Chains A and B, each alone.
Chain A
Amino acid sequence: MRAVFLTLWLGVLMGASAAAAEQVRIPGGTYQPFYALKKKQPVAVASFALDVYPVSNQDFLRFVSQHSQWQRGQVKPIFADRQYLQHWPGPLQIAPQQAKQPVNHVSWFAAQAYCQAQGKKLPSQDQWEFAAQASETKADASQDAHFRQRILDWYARPTQLATVGSTYRNIYGVYDLHGLLWEWVHDFNTVMVTGESREDSSLDRSLFCAGGAVDGADPANYAAYMRYAFRSSLKGNYTLKTLGFRCAKEIKS
């Protein structure tokens, strides 16, 4: 068994999968974020590059084998909690079936360090949401009831990690933005949802300067509400079974 892991590990080190770094250009545009500054005020997103697939365990193993400070057991708890990479058999071992699964149990700090090591960074919340509102056939499927329902159906299912690229490919050629696992965004801590209610009290105005300026724009988009609420519950060192990431890169115009 050990030999299997070792072989796999060496294989990973030598024959890096080309898919790991593959990115596509997401042409810029405007979109209506769920939490808008003013209702119905669209936000502009500049063109950017986004990873085609979520980062896999195999990709992440290659990273930690080259950056020992991000290995399980080495990382400081302020940057990753105790669940960090707990699903791996060892700090530098993954099970064969994990290779193509998206990496989970990673913190924001580890995800950001991974992206930086490749000259990339985590996508901003606007970039991620903009790319993720595209279906197979439409750049903006945010009003498509079928597309919305499919996302909600996935949210309702218990987590069973499939391999990267196994869900759907959107119109830009990006896979798995919904349907596999949740993904870190660079500015996840911009979301100011402090209550459970979808009404007025979802923002605790006394705690934030100008917090009341940020409001839910589309009450029908419950899937978006869940993503924003989920992000607001996170801290940078949290590592969850349901949370992975992919990287983005700015395109110099």
Chain B
Amino acid sequence: MKMYHLYSLLLLLCFSCNPAPEKTGTTGDHATDHAAHTHHESLPAGQPSEQSIYALSSPWRNQTGQEIQLQQSQGKIHLVAMVYASCTNACPRIIADMKAIEAKLSPQALVQLTLISIDPEVDTPERLQALAQKSQLGSRWQLLTGEPDSVRELAIVLGVQYKKINDTDYAHSNLISVLNPKGEIVHQQQGLGIEPSETIKVIQSLHSL
């Protein structure tokens, strides 16, 4: 029963940071009731569920050139953000925010931190490796690049918006998503330099489940 309450709380947290979109004055019926449709099955931890982003099967390549599936992070708490290596403004701050979250977690915690490039044609594994070194990212981090269509698909699943604005730069959402061990999005931290206590609380409650 206690577990159930905790789960309800998580659901509330998830909805409160993820409001349904506004009506936009178009014809016909609309999408405002969609958040209420989100449907979480109670499955044992670590099993893929109906809401799992691990249903995406696109292959990725990590900073060492190794082929990776997102599903390999199943069973871990997974923090995901989308950035690009030549970004000088927001991305270092997203990475810093993720490092701040990581620093608050126990070194033993089963946590995966993933950065996915929105600029896959430029961001080779070598460039991502250089970013990892420059940013001093530890062994729990992976930096992934893939096909442009896979990047678009993942961004749509995560609710990340991005647009190329000139030869080197992108406008993009600053969003850190927390996935539970099943791969469901349970929390999203939006913005830069956000005080991470709420995100950390969510991660810690996932640990105690």
Partners in one complex: yes
Q: Which positions in A face B, CB cutoff 8 Å?
A: 37, 76-79, 81-82, 108-109, 112, 121, 154-159, 182, 186-192, 196, 206-211, 213-214, 226, 229-230, 232-236, 238, 240-242
Q: Which residue of A lies closest to B172 (CB)?
A: A209
**CB pair A77 B39 closer than 8 Å:** yes
Chief secondary structure at chain A's binding surface: loop
**CB pair A242 B29 closer than 8 Å:** yes
**CB pair B50 A77 closer than 8 Å:** yes
* Besides the known contacts A208-B171, A234-B21, 9 further A-B residue pairs in the complex with CB atoms under 8 A apart: A108-B156, A157-B27, A159-B28, A182-B26, A191-B163, A208-B90, A209-B170, A210-B170, A226-B26
12 of the cross-chain contacts (CB-CB < 8 Å) are A157-B27, A192-B161, A192-B173, A209-B90, A209-B174, A213-B165, A226-B25, A230-B24, A232-B24, A232-B161, A236-B157, A238-B34
Known contacts A78-B55, A208-B161, A209-B89: A242-B27 contact under CB 8 Å: yes
Give complex CA distance A125, B188 in Å. Answer: 27
Q: Which residue of B lies closest to A206 (CB)?
A: B191
Q: Is B192 positioned at the interface, with any CB of A under 8 Å from its CB?
A: yes
4 A-B pairs with the lowest CB-CB distances in the bound complex, closest first: A209-B90, A159-B28, A236-B156, A233-B21
Which B residues are CB-close (under 8 A) to A206? Answer: 191-192
Chief secondary structure at chain B's binding surface: loop
Give complex CA distance A59, B157 in Å. Answer: 26
Give complex CA distance A190, B169 in Å. Answer: 14
Which A residues are CB-close (under 8 A) to B51? Answer: 76-78
Contact of A190 among B21, B34, B37, B161 (CB under 8 A): B161
Which B residues are CB-close (under 8 A) to A233? Answer: 21-24, 31
